[in-house]
Amino acid sequence: MRFLTSGESHGPKLSAIVEGFPANLEIDKERMTNELIKRQGGYGRGRRMQIEKDTFQFGSGIRHAKTLGSPIMIEIINDDFKHWSKIMGSDPLTPEEAESMRRVITKPRPGHADLVGGMKYNMRDLRNVLERSSARETAARVAVGALCKELLHALDIRIVSRVKQIGSVRDEGRYNLADIREFSDQSSVRMVSEEKTGEAEELIDATKKNGDSIGGVVEVIVENPIPGLGSHVHYDRKLDAKIAGSVVSINAFKGVEFGAGFEAASTPGSEVQDEITYDDEKGYTRRTNNLGGFEGGMTTGMPIVVKAVMKPIPTLYKPLLSVDINSKEEFKATIERSDACAVPAASVVCEHMVAIEVARAVLDKFPHDDMDELKAAVGAYKKRVKEY
């Protein structure tokens, strides 16, 4: 399974083409739309999210709520384009329009893609970089991830996410899958503890008031993964590595941990490796899950537990110093409308990037054209590994 996204933040639309899905998978469009709505929300978002209404249309690949096995095209309209149709349109501008409409950006924001993108692609209006590097693109990724979640849902594999940390406010509680599953409140920080959620929201408010931004840590859990997804035989078939790459590809994500993660460095091996046991109902299982569901780049069958860190948002209402690319003089960076904290929204993006990698691993291991065939193959495989 492979996919591509396209679209600029203030352009007419975002789109994605997904190829490699089996035929006859039932699709619940409302459930998919809910995932997009979750990404749009989250405490700390800016005004743009009040303009957009992230719904999507299938342009191909689905008929009567079932996949056809052909490429699936998904489109999300940018409602904000109506305010930007001249600035972001594909038609040429008259000289007068060019004078009045093109808001040329020449003061790159530290931490965003502006300067390096401008240098690399040889563009002197940094809007040409900003538009594609904007995390607006993650709406298209969530739509693809939501499609992948439909496939995983049919195989009884569930994926959830939550916020673990905002700035210095940390929700230390161990995860409880039932609690996390109830987390659909799109306006919340999406932490488990109500007390910590309140503290995090206060911190976001104070940060915003101060013209600053703040990052955090998110956690994604995959329940009931099929054991043996990924492979130990080659570096580019290890599923933990693929998940790590996909997660760090999310705008502003800087690091990933599985299970105990970096804490494993200061913990003896006897307390890190998960003891193996056999259960008549579940087959092979582990007494603990410090390794976050992976051994040798393969799923063990224990929940996959991924934690990831998001840096603070680069655009600041009290901007940092930068250099104007025309005069080379020092200036304050450009202020663009911005979120103060996008960690709650980003937890949803992270969940969907993990879903994409897990679904891809399922389709690599069970390459079937028809969903019933795929389900039968998964059932037979699970029976075999349980009896192994």
Ligand X SMILES: Cc1cc2nc3c(=O)[nH]c(=O)nc-3n(C[C@H](O)[C@H](O)[C@H](O)COP(=O)(O)O)c2cc1C
Ligand Y SMILES: C=C(O[C@@H]1CC(C(=O)O)=C[C@@H](OP(=O)(O)O)[C@H]1O)C(=O)O
Among 169, 217, 349, 359, binds ligand X (CB under 6 A): 349
Dist CA 286 CA 336 (whole Å): 49
Q: Which is nearer to ligand X, 112 or 360 (CB)?
A: 112
Question: Which of ligand Y, ligand X, none is residue 113 near (CB under 5 to 8 Å by kind)?
Answer: ligand X
CA 173 to chain centre: 23
Tell whether residue 313 is among the known ligand binding residues: yes
**Which residue's Cβ lies closest to ligand Y?**
48
Provide Rg for the chain, Cα atoms. Answer: 22
Asked if residue 47 lies in contact with residue 70, where contact means CB atoms within 8 angstroms, the answer is: no
Contact 163, 200 (CB under 8 A): yes
- Residue 228 binds which entry of ligand X, ligand Y, none, with Cβ cut-offs from 5 to 8 Å by kind? none
| 243 assigned ligand-binding residue | no
Instruction: Candidates 274, 339, 351, 357: give the one binding ligand X (CB under 6 A).
Output: 339
Name the residue with tokens 């929940």: 303
Residues 6+ apart with CB under 8 A from 221: 159, 160, 161, 175, 177, 180, 303, 304, 305, 306
Query: 260 to 299, contacts with ligand Y by CB under 6 A?
Result: none
283: helix, strand or coil: strand
Answer for which of 126, 159, 221, 345 binds ligand X (CB under 6 A) is 345
Q: Is 286 left (phi over 0), alpha (psi -120 to 50) or beta?
A: beta
In the list ligand Y, ligand X, none, the entry touching 349 (Cβ below 5 to 8 angstroms by class) is ligand X
Neighbours of 233 (CB within 10 A): 10
Query: 138 or 300, CB closer to ligand X?
Result: 138
332 binds ligand Y (CB under 6 A): no
What are the structure tokens assigned to 114, written together? Answer: 């502006």
CB of 373 to ligand X, least distance (A): 37
Q: Which of 76, 126, 135, 189 binds ligand Y (CB under 6 A)?
A: 135
Alpha helices for 90-193 (secondary structure H): 95-101, 114-121, 127-133, 138-154, 177-181
Among 3, 7, 8, 9, binds ligand Y (CB under 6 A): 9
Binding site for ligand X (CB under 6 A): 46, 112-113, 133-135, 138, 250-252, 313-315, 338-339, 342, 345-346, 349
Residue list for the binding site: 39, 45, 132-134, 251-252, 296, 311-315, 337
Q: Which residues bind ligand Y (CB under 6 A)?
A: 9, 46, 48, 52, 134-136, 139, 251, 336-339
